[in-house]
Amino acid sequence: MELEQLRMFVSAAESGSFSAAGRELYTSHSTVSRAVSALEKELGVRLISRSNRVLGLTAAGELLLEEARELLGKADGLGEKLRSLEGQEARSRTGRNIL
């Protein structure tokens, strides 16, 4: 399971459309659809019900959406924390007191 797959799943689930998710993520709808299908295959469950061009979430999809939002938030937050730490270390190397 890749973070990018989760981002595509979340975008599709929130927008209700592979096309809208593709536009949001600057990629094609088929790329989003393939990523979600691969995620479903890897997890062994249906995440999205596809009918009449409207995407609906299965119970597994609802659970994954909640968990994926949290996980992606943590991943994004981790990058910010690491960059902040690097900045603090750079300031301490220059002799400036951080605290």
Taking only the tens place, the pLDDT of each residue in 52-93 is 777 899 999 999 999 999 999 999 899 888 888 877 776 777
The pLDDT of residue 34 is 97
CB count in 10 Å sphere of residue 56 = 13
Q: Are 36 and 5 in contact (CB under 8 A)?
A: yes
Q: Which two tokens stand for residue 16?
A: 């209700």
Question: CB under 8 Å to 33, separation ≥6 — which residues?
Answer: 12, 18
**What is the predicted pLDDT for the residue at 27?**
96
Task: Please give the model's pTM, rounded to 2 decimal places.
Answer: 0.82
Structure tokens at 17: 């459309």
Nearest of 49, 22, 45 to residue 33 by alpha carbon = 22
